[in-house]
Amino acid sequence: MLSPQIIDLLIKGLIDTLHMVAVSGAIGTLIGLPLGVLLAVTGRGELLQNLVFNRIIGAVVNMTRSTPFIILVVAIIPFTRLVAGTSIGTSAAIVPLTVAAAPFIARVVENAIREVDRGLIEAAQAMGATPFQIVRKVLLPEALPAIAMGLTLSAVSLIGYSAMVGAVGGGGLGDLGIRYGYQRFLPEVMLAVVVVLIVLVQVVQSTGDWIARRVNKRNLKV
Amino acid sequence: MITLTNLQKTFPARGSGVPVQALADIDLTIGRGEIFGIIGRSGAGKSTLLRTINLLEKPTTGSVRVDDVEMTALSAAELRQARHSIGMIFQHFNLLSSRTVFDNVALPLELAGMPKAEIKTAVEPLLDLVGLAEKRDRYPAELSGGQKQRVGIARALASKPKVLLSDEATSALDPETTTQILHLLADINRRLGLTIVLITHEIAVIKEICHKVAVMEGGRIIEQGPVFDIFAHPSHPTTRSFVDPVINRGIPDSLKDRLSPTPQPGANPVLRITFTGEKATSPVISAISRKLNLDLNIWHGQIDEIQGAPFGTLVVEALGDSTSVEAAVSLLKVNHLGVEVLGHAVPANH
Ligand SMILES: Nc1ncnc2c1ncn2[C@@H]1O[C@H](COP(=O)(O)OP(=O)(O)O)[C@@H](O)[C@H]1O
Ligand SMILES: [Mg+2]
């Protein structure tokens, strides 16, 4: 049904997509995780309350998050060129994907940390823990199941976004679908792309759920 | 061990509300090795008071001295150091769900930078002490409430504190488990000489293990003293409302209806006589009865135990003239029995 060339293209598209999602997800986490922690602990009545800092970071995060992704891709082309040296192709696509992922992950992490029972923070303070120790030994481990779920959600969103950057020459499965499925009108390629994306999202979601369950010690059967 | 002097705490107004004065004019001295209970209704300021001891709550004014250290004068780093010698346990345990029993108990030691091998030798005896050695690799979600609180206690003891603060530690537990946890605390107090400050809204907790008690209302301490004295002679109405249900100082309702607060023709005075363990009462009472030719009609009698010492109450109607009743009262007082005129009994057929 699908020619070997098409299958090769599918495999290459999948690898490109995985590459984009993995790299932007990793860098996004590297930036988003500390940002999320800072957002959570500098809020009103929190461990290291600093409302000015909190509002500034919050505003930057919101700005990026409220810009539709496709607009963001185009709007930051100069920045993308500066970082990646080009504005087309897989490496270039990683730049807007990361810019979208980092604030998303920051909010996810912030919410996960805010969900941690305040009593635990109080107990740690009563033990003489420093704020840094509280973050490392209490907040992050306790928020881990929620963070794992949030990162899974981020990865799934990134798969969707990575297909979108295909529309502006980003490579990957989305690019394949647009160029072959839509422009050359090969419906079977379009179908194959959609199926691969669905399977990919399923695999990512199930893996994420599994990890979140593994790290969650809160609902163990007695 | 702990001295709170002229402590005040006012929380700033939230939104359009008014500021809340949670603590007012608190003066409290807690001796080394004491189990000191603080009782009061919800919102009385108990938690706020307890939390000022380790400065989780910074008092607006006043002094907090723990083991001769003025806590309010410490820098952030010094305060963290000082907190290593003040353990704390909580109503909802506040255990880390992501850590096993062992790792929860190890947490304060990790925070203090103790090497792993030393942590192991420090934690294991603590798990034995609270009877949870075989649960060491379990997670809090796999434990009962009582077991969780035992982990909380072991964790609080890990850094070898001199003081243990307990914020309603048994309030989320069933009565049987409460008793077990209280006995564990009393045992730790005896064995380690640990000073324990516990707050509760349950008078039974005070009765069970506390040496001294302070009663709080509206951010103030309205009464304090040795548990025995407070139970035997509560002076504030709030204290009485706490003590009455557990120490039956009251009289049956059917008799209450016959009491008039003022003397009436044909009404006999009703006395409440209280006595403590060592004082044999019946010889005294029968002697008085004989000597003064006074008949004592017993309405109600009860013996309770407070802090292991018997405490008795006898409500009697004195059938005699006012001079012999007055003589009886002074004779009872001479014999160191507590006497209180409750009222005057209107004859039943009225
Ligand atoms: N962080 C806070 N901010 C404002 N008001 C508070 C705060 N903590 C306690 N309060 C108020 O102080 C009073 C005493 O509270 P608390 O010490 O928790 O009482 P208790 O432990 O006896 O129930 C209550 O009126 C409560 O609403
Ligand atoms: Mg309270």
Mean pLDDT of the region B158-165: 95
Range of the domain at B285: 249-345
pLDDT of res. B233: 82
Which residues of chain B lie closer than 8 angstroms to A124, CB-CB?
Answer: 107, 111
Q: Which ligand is nearest to the CA of B51?
A: 1
Tell whether B350 is covered by a domain.
no
**Could you tell me the pLDDT band of residue A185, with boundaries at 50, 70 and 90?**
confident
CB of residue B11 inside a 6 A radius of ligand 1: yes
Q: What residues does each domain of chain A span? A: 4-215
What does residue B318 show for φ and ψ, rounded to 5 degrees? -95, 115
**A65 has a pLDDT exceeding 90:** no
CB B311 within 8 A of CB B274: yes
Is B254 found in the same domain as B139? no
Locus of tokens 């008793």: B179
pTM of the model: 0.85
pLDDT of res. B256: 74
CA distance B37 to B42: 15
Among B215, B246, B277, which residue terminates a domain?
B246
A172: alpha, beta or left? (left if phi > 0; alpha if psi -120 to 50): left
From A159, A154, A122, A152, select the one nearest A139 (Cα to Cα). Answer: A122
CB B165 within 8 A of CB B53: yes
Taking the centre of ligand 2 as the mean of its atom positions, its distance from the CA of residue B283, in whole angstroms, is 47
CA angle A188, A14, A213 (to 5 degrees): 115
Tell whether B311 is covered by a domain.
yes
Mean pLDDT of the region A77-104: 91
Residue nearest to atom 11 of ligand 1 (CA): B22
Question: Which stretches of chain B sit within 8 Å of chain A by CB?
Answer: 54, 56, 79-84, 86-88, 90, 92, 94, 96-99, 107-108, 110-112, 139-143, 159, 165
Please return the burial class of A97, using the count of CB atoms within 10 Å of its CB with bins 0-12, 13-18 and 19+.
buried
Total number of domains constituting chain B = 2
Taking the centre of ligand 1 as the mean of its atom positions, its distance from the CA of residue B45, in whole angstroms, is 6
Is B264 found in the same domain as B235? no
Q: Inter-chain contact B108–A137, Cβ cutoff 8 Å?
A: no
Mean pLDDT of the region A110-133: 96
pLDDT of res. A88: 85
Residue nearest to atom 1 of ligand 1 (CA): B11
**A1 has a pLDDT exceeding 70:** no
Residue nearest to atom 7 of ligand 1 (CA): B11
- Yes or no: domain A4-215 corresponds to CATH 1.10.3720.10: yes
Q: Express each pLDDT in A192-214 by its tens digit.
A: 999 999 999 999 999 999 999 99
Q: Express each pLDDT in B82-125 by its tens digit.
A: 999 999 999 999 999 999 999 999 999 999 999 999 999 999 99
Write a three-state SS string for chain A. Answer: CCCHHHHHHHHHHHHHHHHHHHHHHHHHHHHHHHHHHHHHHCCCCCCCCCHHHHHHHHHHHHHHHHCCHHHHHHHCHHHHHHHHCCCCCHHHHHHHHHHHHHHHHHHHHHHHHHCCCHHHHHHHHHCCCCHHHHHHHHHHHHHHHHHHHHHHHHHHHHHHHHHHHHHHCCCHHHHHHHHHHHHCCCHHHHHHHHHHHHHHHHHHHHHHHHHHHHHCCCCCCC
CA distance A34 to B16: 35
* Global ipTM: 0.88
Among B185, B212, B246, which residue terminates a domain?
B246
Q: Express each pLDDT in B243-278 by its tens digit.
A: 888 776 666 677 777 778 888 777 888 888 887 766
Is B260 found in the same domain as B215? no
Is B307 found in the same domain as B160? no
Taking the centre of ligand 1 as the mean of its atom positions, its distance from the CA of residue B117, in whole angstroms, is 41
DSSP string over B207-250: HHH-SEEEEEETTEEEEEEEHHHHHHS--SHHHHHHHTTTS--S
Residue nearest to atom 10 of ligand 1 (CA): B22
CA distance B58 to B71: 10
pLDDT of res. A221: 57
Which residues of chain B lie closer than 8 angstroms to A139, CB-CB?
Answer: none
CB of residue B26 inside a 6 A radius of ligand 1: no
CA distance B136 to B134: 6
Mean pLDDT of the region B3-20: 90
Tell whether B35 is covered by a domain.
yes
Give the CA-trace dihedral at A127, A130, A136, A141, to 10 degrees. 30
Q: Specify the DSSP element, H or E, that contains B329.
A: helix B322-334
pLDDT of res. B280: 52
Q: Residue B350, SS3?
A: coil
Question: How many of the other CB atoms lie within 10 Å of CB of B295?
Answer: 12
CA angle B119, B123, B126 (to 5 degrees): 155
Is B298 found in the same domain as B165? no
Is B268 found in the same domain as B206? no
Residue ranges with CB less than 5 Å from ion ligand 2 = B 47
CB B55 within 8 A of CB B9: no
**Could you tell me the pLDDT band of residue A103, with boundaries at 50, 70 and 90?**
very high
CATH number of the CATH domain containing B157: 3.40.50.300
Is B50 found in the same domain as B82? yes
List, in order, residues 6 or more apart from B337 with CB less than 8 Å away: B273, B274, B275, B279, B281, B284
Is B266 found in the same domain as B178? no
CB of residue B200 inside a 6 A radius of ligand 1: no
Q: Express each pLDDT in B195-223 by its tens digit.
A: 999 999 999 899 889 999 999 999 999 99
pLDDT of res. A166: 76
More confident residue, B226 or B17: B226
Percent above pLDDT 90 for chain B = 63
Q: Which of A117, A127, A139 to mutate to test the interface with B (most CBs of B within 10 A)?
A: A127
Is B307 found in the same domain as B168? no
Nearest CA in chain A to B109: A127
pLDDT of res. B176: 92
CB of residue B196 inside a 6 A radius of ligand 1: no
CA distance B105 to A134: 16
Instruction: Look up residue B275 and give its DSSP letter.
Output: E
Among B201, B230, B246, which residue terminates a domain?
B246
